[in-house]
Structure 1
Amino acid sequence: MKKAIFVLAAIGSIAGAARAQSSVTLYGLVDAGFAYTNNVGGQKLFAASSGNIQGSRWGLRGTEDLGGGLKALFVLENGFNPYTGRLNQGGDEFGRQVYVGIRSDQYGSVTLGRQYDSIVDYTGPLEAASQWASLYGGHPGDLDNMNNTNRVNNAIKFASANYSGLTFGGLYSLGGVAGNFTRNQIWSAGLNYARGPLVLGAAYLNVKNPNFSLFGNNATSSATATNMSGSQVYSGFASARTQQVITAGAAYTLGAATFGATYSNTQFLGLGETAVTGQPGGSPRSGNAKFHNAEANFKYQLTPAWLVAVAYDYTKGYSVTSEKIHQAMLGADYALSKRTDLYAVGIYQHASGTNSFGANATAQITILSPSSSQNQVAAIVGIRSKF
């Protein structure tokens, strides 16, 4: 009898230790508000708007200690619209990200699944839209993906451990096309240095057939028609063979103030080399379309609860496009608690030159439909609560 009791106690202690070495966490946030736009196709628009500062989501993340400094890990993360309850990311059940892998305390992690590219990881957090300016404040059409509009399917990803403030990593996505190893492939690499008040980041992204790989990566995407319909800045370039993006950013904190800047160069190369049915605007363009984008941002923590911020962004198209876009942003955030805050953002955009269809450019703030003029103004207010 004593032996049986001892064995049961030993089993219980082992099970307790196993539970202590593993964890699963439920997390998420809900972000909802309202947006006013002065000109959408010539009309004023007042609408419910969700996922403004951060996309509404819920997720599960877990780790299991494997011993020897190794852990197994997984993440399942869903995106949704709190006003309708519908799935975001084209209806994918875990459209934000889903992956599984191994992490070493000494070297870093290797993960497999639907994941974020290196621009999102290493330079995206330095953009105003990823901090306080909302998804409306993204670079036009989020053409450089710094605001994480597009995820990467079929991805193998490495993320290093932190070496005295330096982190780096890379991602490779299998194209998955029979007989053509490189079609639809995606790869990226980047690094970030954060030490004291200084943060520096740089990243590179290379996408083959972006209309079907990076933009066409969810359940509702078309296998033949355009998936790049979100912005007239680049919608006419769906036939590009390759999209290439180079980004860099920096931030410096001085007391309650933080000064930041980002730069990106986005290129849609080999226009007309990817077959796309029903291309809007007529026949596909030819040649290469290229964009410079530069942003300066500033935020100030007035009190532990109050944050105010301002940013200016400039986009210049060259080669087959001549579009120029000026965008100014102003924001404020008030923390009701550690988990819940209220926010307000105002955005003004002015466009000139010709857009991706060769027509006279009109303003189009990210995620909105185009203005009927060269100018567009948006104001967003909302509440965000995390759990």
Structure 2
Amino acid sequence: MIRTLLAALVGGLYVSSSYAQSNITLYGLIDVSINYVSNQREGGTNSPGHSNWSMASGDLNTSRWGLRGREDLGGGSSAVFTLENGFSVINGKFSNGGDEFGRQAHVGLQSTTYGSITLGRQYDIILDFVTPLGASGPGWGGNLGVHPYDNDDSNTNLRINNSVKYKSPIYRGLTFGAMYGFSNTPGQFANNRAYSAGVAYANGPLSVGAAYLQIDRSADVANPQGAVSTSDGDAQITGGPQRIWALGGRYIFGPASAGLVWAHSVTDAVTGVAQGGSITPLKGDNLTFDNFSVDVHYFVTPAFSVAAAYTYTAGRFSTATETTRPKWNQLVLQTDYQFNKRTDIYLEGAYQSVSGGNGNPAFNASIHTLTPSSNSKQAVVAAGLRHRF
């Protein structure tokens, strides 16, 4: 009897293992670098600045591991899921406020004829259709290329909880998508809900995309169970309703490609902005940004590439008594060498200059989640190693 049970158990494990190997993919990315950063604050918002050498995790891409699964249901349909965890290489801690699968967690159905529908915690349509066309976030520039406070969803910071997303199949290069994130709280149906929609087209060397995201929320009544979290780094700008329009394009010519992205974002009853990995208070009636970004990426050889991006951001911050018009100029330069498809080394520099902030420390220069500058300028140079598996 014991031998029979052991044989059945071993057989069951073998079947489960074979099933996992044929239907589930384990994947991940590890990104670590040595950084030089200028003018970092020593303490609070008004403290003096010092240059700093440090080790960092995720200057280009946040380190992560995940599982993707697909089960054939027949007739061109499949059940699919994604579970993805973010972590820090330098100390082993979870990213996303400690959420176990804080980057992605969703399940759904996919059809070659009708498209896909997924439910859970997932990226909005701007991050699907527009952001990859530029330099920041999923683009070559990564996290160091993020626009001020990620005000326009130019990075992979924002995720929508409690969401249902539909993406159409690609027809002659054209695809579209839409999603809705529930507030998930009785009596607060419209407080911290979100919806997004967009369209993309790709034909040969040309790719273009346009998308919109709206987050309905109250600046006075918190709803932590809603579509956008405020405790795990998702919300880069806090307050009342937020609206983002984005439009981008990319063209490939030989070993080079060029991208052009415009985005406009508005947040009413703003209460804070993300600086240094946390929210800095900034209370006013309205906070508006217009971002204009252009970049070029060129492969000198199949393994060695160089790239540059410039972003101009015009802001407007309004209170009951005054209006401030800060302006950001940001330059990103990169060289990258790929040992193979999985492993590369990079040297990337980012420089940001801010004017018109009227001495408000919330408008000091601030790049990614690094400690903000003590003044209006900051420079970062990162030498890193990145491995995918």
* Structure 1 and Structure 2 fold alike (TM over 0.5): yes
In structure 2, distance between residues paired with 1:210 and 1:247? 23
Q: 2: CA distance between counterparts of 1:294 and 1:250? A: 12
Distance 2:203 2:76 in 1: 25
State how 1:92-131 maps to structure 2 within 5 Å: 92-129=99-136, 130-131=138-139
Unaligned segments of structure 1, at least 5 residues: 1-14, 222-226, 273-278
Q: TM-score, structure 1 length as denominator? A: 0.84
* Cross-structure match for 1:330: 333
Measured at CA, do residues 271 and 348 of structure 1 come closer, stay the same or move farther in structure 2, by a change above 3 Å?
closer
The match for 1:11 is: none
Q: Deviations over 1:58-101 (max 9, x none)?
A: 11111111112211111111111111111101100001101111
Cα distance change of structure 1 residues 334 and 22 upon mapping to structure 2, 3 Å threshold = closer
Q: Does 1:304 align with 2:312?
A: no
**Which range moves more in the overlay, 136-145 or 325-334?**
136-145
- CA deviation after TM superposition for structure 1 residue 214, in Å: 6.0
- How far, CA to CA, are the matches of 2:195 and 2:172 in structure 1? 26
SS at match of 2:149: helix
Q: Give distance in 1, aligned partners of 2:361 and 2:388.
A: 43
* Residue identity opposite 2:384 in structure 1: G
Distance 1:352 1:23, change over 3 A: same
Contact 2:181/2:227 (8 A) holds in 1: no
Is 1:156 the counterpart of 2:156 in the alignment?
A: no
State whether residues 259 and 299 of structure 1, in contact with CA within 8 Å, keep that contact through their aligned partners in structure 2: yes
Post-superposition offset of 1:372: 1.9
The reply to whether residue 207 of structure 1 matches residue 215 of structure 2 is yes
Give 1:319 shift: 5.4
Q: List alignment gaps of at least 5 residues for structure 2.
A: 1-14, 42-48, 272-278, 319-323
Give the count of matched residue pairs: 349
Q: Which moved more, 1:140-149 or 1:357-366?
A: 357-366
State the partner residue of 1:379. 381
Q: TM-score, normalised by structure 2?
A: 0.84
Cα-Cα RMSD: 2.5
3-state SS of 1:128 partner:
coil
Task: Specify whether residues 26 and 67 from structure 1 end up closer, same or farther in structure 2 by C-alpha distance, changes over 3 A only.
Answer: same
Amino acid at match of 2:302: P
Structure-2 separation of matches of 1:200 and 1:386: 27
- Listed one character per residue, the Cα deviations across residues 303-344 of structure 1 (whole Å, up to 9, x for unaligned) are 000110001001101252411000011101100111100111
- Residues 146-165 of structure 1 show CA distances to partners (whole Å, capped at 9, x for unaligned) of 21112111110111111122
Structure 1 residues 332, 185: CA separation in 2 closer, same or farther (over 3 Å shift)? same
Matches of 1:151 and 1:159, distance apart in 2: 16
Hey, what does 1:83 align to over in structure 2? 90
Superposition pairs of residues 1-387 of structure 1, within 5 angstroms: 23-41=23-41, 42-129=49-136, 130-209=138-217, 213=226, 216-217=229-230, 238=238, 240-271=239-270, 284-286=283-285, 288-318=286-316, 320=318, 321-354=324-357, 361-387=363-389
Q: Deviations over 1:95-145 (max 9, x none)?
A: 110111111111111011100001110011012123222312110121112
